[in-house]
Structure 1
């Protein structure tokens, strides 16, 4: 009993301090937020009422409408608030540049906190000197020569994808391509990042796949429910146990792969530095283990970051690309004709970097698809000090939300933003707008290190798909919507009728 009393006192004091800090932040953000453009906010709940009875399927429309209302009033930024958090949204590339080009305001925002137990310490979450050193170390993994070395995996897994789709077509008239793309990109990431054959396309029910899905769902639920931000509530409702169970599976999978690859390198079973081009992402980390003083946990976090950021974003981007092509038959036909002109009529020919770089029209189509459906709808920075943007003071501890979704739907930059028009990315058109008005992979110091990898992966898969199938939509364009989550997945998939070309 004598021990329990001081423990109870300490817990109570921690609760009081937490309660005080929440009140302090609410008061601070209420004062500053009242001077910013944005929807009326409640002193305690902020703008939570905007999201009542809504899902992340509705959020894109909510945020885009709020942004356009603010722009119509001449604002270059807007703010939203929920409980003890404030979010300030730049509404055009020029305003976003203040944060994107900052060398000091690079810390991730509050909404990333949920990912810390899994990815904290990896390139996505890290900050300061450690982030700079790891970024420098990992950059060679995405050089052009290295990407060429990944083409074998891109091609082989894309061919398996075609086989899997054709098998499904034997019994199904309607095919949702999204889960097929997710499994394919996961196999590609595992092959290129860790040099392992994962076989997600064949073994659909792997526990790692289930754990990724489960953890992603928890992430969304946590971000949408402020009551879950309280650790006791999170634990009492059983979320902490689910969280820990998923993490156990995720970490074990990666740690086992690291142990296996380290042993293979040590035994000479795989090539080491003799072929730099053949070294995968994990090999680079293992070869830098001593010089960079990397721990096994450091390596695990970087590999997990690449797995997490790589397969979900690419599969989502490719899904929206195919959705746009299915609903714009003329554009799809133009892309197909360009593919035939460059690659010829053999649907089994491997895609090469030399030929894929000649797909100029297809490149514009990819960019326009990412404008309409940015794979990552928003990134955040948490301010370390007060800053002034467009004459408005944004307080320290506040979040800046850089949203490609909001920036890409700006009617002041993109006329008729809901229209699919690849010619927006003709060279002369690009020169008319600020470079940060189009940022599907973010921009500045913390831009996506793997963007060239992702685009090349997407192009290779697209070439294989369109050489084999014509895409016909089974539902209306707006019957599936981008979810405003970590990744903008299609809410109802992308159901298609696929017509064989051969």
Structure 2
């Protein structure tokens, strides 16, 4: 008993010391609960109660509702505070321009810290600075238009395998969850086009990498909105750190195997080593840089993981929602199909070429509208180094400012009747009426998505093959599956469709 009180006091002091930064941040940010528009807060926890026991699709709805409520009050920003973290979202193109046009406020937000053990050091989550600039400059040639031309062979071949996998559903009339099939195809495309290897995810349906990425993303948002999870001791005691480490090990092992396989193929002469960056794939450029000591082995692993994750997950989500939107808007689907037949002909097995893709007009507008209705990446964050004034509101240093297509694209003052699916919103005359930042599915500014052209070309090729072979019909109501608030807005209940053969 004599030792109990000193031990208890010591534990208490340790908790106070370890939580001091959190306590200081709460004290700093609580005063902005009233000065920045947003939902009512509750004591030190802020808005944490709003998100308690909510699924990630419900979290997405909460964020959108909060944004809409502030806009109705004539506000240009909305605030949420979860314990010691302050989140502020600009709500229109003019307001968001302050952050996307900044040349200094370029550091990633607090929630990206969860991804650091996996992607830390890569261009996606690395803090802005010389290291980030060096990596970005190094990777840019990988996404040059001329290089994308070289990826078309893989885009087409893997898309045809996708069609073969889907044919049994057209024959049987059985419902297919398109999300799962698109996801595996997108992973095979990324591995083939960017890494020079084949993993056959379309044949291996329980691919551990795909499962690990899904699990890790879900854990990231749960960690962000649950204050208890942000206490390391509690996170460990609940077994969540162990689960996170298992996902990390699966993802890193998979990537390590891809890198090792490519290195071995080059070393053995099985793959001829290119000397022109224009001809190298993504991984070869990194390996070449590693030889010249520009990148370390860990740098290469981080950039490969970044590409693997961003390259297949965003394309999967975007194309899946496009299929869902087309299935629920058969008139739009028919117009897209007619344009595809006019440009590419009726042969469902014909390869897609960039020359013909460049002639797509209505299809291009449809894909933009799909990304507006459901943004594949709901939000990204910048953590302010300095105070920032946004439309008359002072946002303090240390705030996580959200560049949130989830909120921007649902703005009824910019996109009237925002839930209506209307590709004509992207006719040139309509686009000219809007602020350039009212629609930013790939973010904007210096830290916009480096791989957006790769993703868009990949998505178009897959979609063209799908629609030339099948008509899509929904097997559930539109709201039966909803976008989740995760790193990517995957569908909460998949994409259940019926496939009808075109010929």
Q: Secondary structure at the match of 1:376?
A: coil
Q: Distance in 2 between matches of 1:273 and 1:155?
A: 23
Output the TM-score relative to the length of structure 2. 0.95
Q: Which residue of 1 aligns with 2:52?
A: 52
Q: Secondary structure at the match of 1:289?
A: helix
> Cα RMSD between the aligned structures?
1.9
Q: Which residue of 2 aligns with 1:289?
A: 290
Q: Distance in 2 between matches of 1:276 and 1:396?
A: 40
Q: Distance in 2 between matches of 1:395 and 1:332?
A: 46
Q: Which residue of 2 aligns with 1:97?
A: 97
Q: 1:277 Cα deviation (Å)? A: 4.3
Q: Distance in 1 between matches of 2:476 and 2:162?
A: 23
User: How do residues 85-484 of structure 1 correspond to structure 2 at under 5 angstroms?
Assistant: 85-127=85-127, 128-171=129-172, 173-274=174-275, 276-291=277-292, 293-484=294-485
Q: How many corresponding residue pairs?
A: 497
Q: CA 1:204–1:420 in 2, change beyond 3 Å: closer, same or farther?
A: same
Q: Which residue of 1 aligns with 2:3?
A: none
Q: Distance in 1 between matches of 2:52 and 2:214?
A: 25
Q: Distance in 2 between matches of 1:274 and 1:397?
A: 45
Q: Does structure 2 retain, via aligned residues, the 8 Å contact 1:379–1:401?
A: yes
Output the TM-score relative to the length of structure 1. 0.95
Q: 1:172 Cα deviation (Å)? A: 5.5
Q: Secondary structure at the match of 1:40?
A: coil
Q: Distance in 1 between matches of 2:170 and 2:428?
A: 40
Q: 1:14 Cα deviation (Å)? A: 5.4
Q: Which residue of 1 aligns with 2:4?
A: none
Q: Which residue of 2 aligns with 1:43?
A: 43
Q: Does structure 2 retain, via aligned residues, the 8 Å contact 1:108–1:125?
A: yes
Q: Distance in 1 between matches of 2:98 and 2:465?
A: 41
Q: Which residue of 2 aligns with 1:77?
A: 77
Q: Secondary structure at the match of 1:435?
A: coil
Q: Which residue of 1 aligns with 2:15?
A: 15
Q: Does structure 1 retain, via aligned residues, the 8 Å contact 2:82–2:225?
A: no
Q: Does structure 2 retain, via aligned residues, the 8 Å contact 1:149–1:277?
A: no
Q: Distance in 2 between matches of 1:126 and 1:8?
A: 40
Q: 1:292 Cα deviation (Å)? A: 5.3
Q: Which residue of 2 aligns with 1:3?
A: none
Q: 1:10 Cα deviation (Å)? A: 9.5
Q: Secondary structure at the match of 2:113?
A: helix
Q: Distance in 2 between matches of 1:407 and 1:305?
A: 26
Q: 1:9 Cα deviation (Å)? A: 10
Q: 1:187 Cα deviation (Å)? A: 0.5
Q: 1:169 Cα deviation (Å)? A: 4.2
Q: Secondary structure at the match of 1:497?
A: strand
Q: Does structure 2 retain, via aligned residues, the 8 Å contact 1:26–1:43?
A: no
Q: Which residue of 1 aligns with 2:61?
A: 61
Q: Does structure 2 retain, via aligned residues, the 8 Å contact 1:169–1:175?
A: no
> 5+ unaligned residues in a row in structure 1: which ranges?
1-6
Q: Does structure 1 retain, via aligned residues, the 8 Å contact 2:99–2:105?
A: yes
Q: Distance in 2 between matches of 1:39 and 1:160?
A: 48
- Report Cα offsets for 1:443-474 as digits up to 9, x if no partner: 11110000000000000000000000000111
> 5+ unaligned residues in a row in structure 2: which ranges?
1-6
Q: Distance in 2 between matches of 1:111 and 1:126?
A: 13
Q: 1:11 Cα deviation (Å)? A: 8.1
Q: Does structure 1 retain, via aligned residues, the 8 Å contact 2:107–2:384?
A: yes
Q: 1:274 Cα deviation (Å)? A: 4.6
Q: Distance in 2 between matches of 1:224 and 1:76?
A: 23
Q: 1:429 Cα deviation (Å)? A: 1.0
Q: Distance in 2 between matches of 1:36 and 1:176?
A: 42
Q: Does structure 1 retain, via aligned residues, the 8 Å contact 2:212–2:248?
A: yes
Q: 1:213 Cα deviation (Å)? A: 2.5
Q: Name whichever of 160-169 and 408-417 sits farther off.
A: 160-169
Q: CA 1:465–1:9 in 2, change beyond 3 Å: closer, same or farther?
A: same
- Report Cα offsets for 1:394-436 as digits up to 9, x if no partner: 1111110111010000011111111111111111111111111
